[in-house]
């Protein structure tokens, strides 16, 4: 396969989705976001969506078997490389991924719990094109439409304070062990997610040699 094979790790709200959109556009990679795929299943009320919704609304992980089944077939479309955003999230998922494809880099975007809560309570997302905004820097509280496509902006169901805290707990318990997992394999690189979005993007580009 030509092109980079990249994983983004990081707590909820670290900026994975924001950076992924820019990186895939620059490098021509396939963006595979398990969160976006699941929200699409929920919106279409599929059997998977119906099963996943409760876990997502509570801030818990959807069971590994459902996630691995959902993502496995998608790599066939990734002839020019891919960027995985939100997968893997457990050691079992990472082990399954190793059976599917090798990787070139795992980029961990790090962010403190306090900043995660601040960013996610003020996040808004476009229901049509998925563009990501924040009330603290590129929206005002009166904005209801996406600047890119005019779609309706909404607040995700899991961006309520109690659920955000739960998601951070789940990240620390189930996903943070992947930092050691990928460090051991020589793939891990870290970026300080507290930096401004352009700085984070520049550091990721440097890591990816692009």
What residues are labeled active site?
16, 89, 123, 156, 167
Q: Which is nearer to ligand AP5, 15 or 208 (CB)?
A: 15
**Does 130 help bind ligand AP5 (rule: CB under 6 A)?**
no
Among 5, 23, 78, 89, binds ligand AP5 (CB under 6 A): 89
Of residues 153 through 182, those in contact with ligand AP5 by CB under 6 A are: 158, 167
Residue 131's nearest CA partner among 57, 210, 36 is: 36
Element (H, E) at 105: strand 105-110
- Contact (CB, 8 A) for 83 and 201: no
Residue 89 has φ and ψ, to the nearest 5°, of: -130, 0
**Does 108 help bind ligand AP5 (rule: CB under 6 A)?**
no
Which token pair is 147?
């600047």
**Does 68 help bind ligand AP5 (rule: CB under 6 A)?**
no
- Continuous H helices in 28-172: 34-43, 47-58, 64-72, 91-100, 113-121, 161-170
Among 27, 30, 92, 132, binds ligand AP5 (CB under 6 A): 132
Q: Would you tell me which residues interact with ligand AP5 (CB under 6 A)?
A: 10, 12-18, 34-35, 38, 55-56, 59-62, 67, 86-87, 89, 93, 119, 123, 132-134, 158, 167, 196-197, 200
């Amino acid at each position: 396969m030509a092109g980079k094979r990249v994983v983004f790790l990081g707590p909820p709200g670290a900026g994975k989705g924001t950076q992924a959109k820019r990186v895939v556009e620059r490098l021509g990679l396939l963006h595979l976001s398990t969160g976006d795929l699941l929200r699409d299943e929920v919106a279409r009320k599929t059997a998977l969506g119906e099963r996943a919704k409760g876990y997502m609304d509570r801030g818990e992980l959807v069971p590994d078997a459902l996630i691995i089944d959902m993502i496995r077939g998608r790599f066939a479309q990734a002839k020019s490389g891919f960027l995985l955003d939100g997968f893997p999230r457990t050691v079992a998922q990472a082990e399954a991924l190793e059976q599917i494809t090798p990787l070139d880099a795992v980029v961990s975007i790090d962010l403190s719990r306090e900043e995660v809560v601040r960013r996610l309570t003020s996040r808004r997302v476009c229901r049509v094109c998925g563009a990501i905004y924040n009330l603290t820097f590129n929206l005002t509280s009166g904005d209801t439409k996406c600047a890119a496509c005019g779609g309706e902006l909404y607040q995700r169901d899991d961006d309520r304070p109690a659920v955000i805290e739960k998601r951070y707990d789940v990240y620390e318990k189930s996903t943070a062990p992947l930092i050691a997992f990928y460090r051991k394999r020589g793939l891990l690189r870290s970026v300080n997610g507290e930096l401004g979005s352009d700085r984070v993007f520049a550091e990721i580009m440097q890591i990816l040699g692009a």
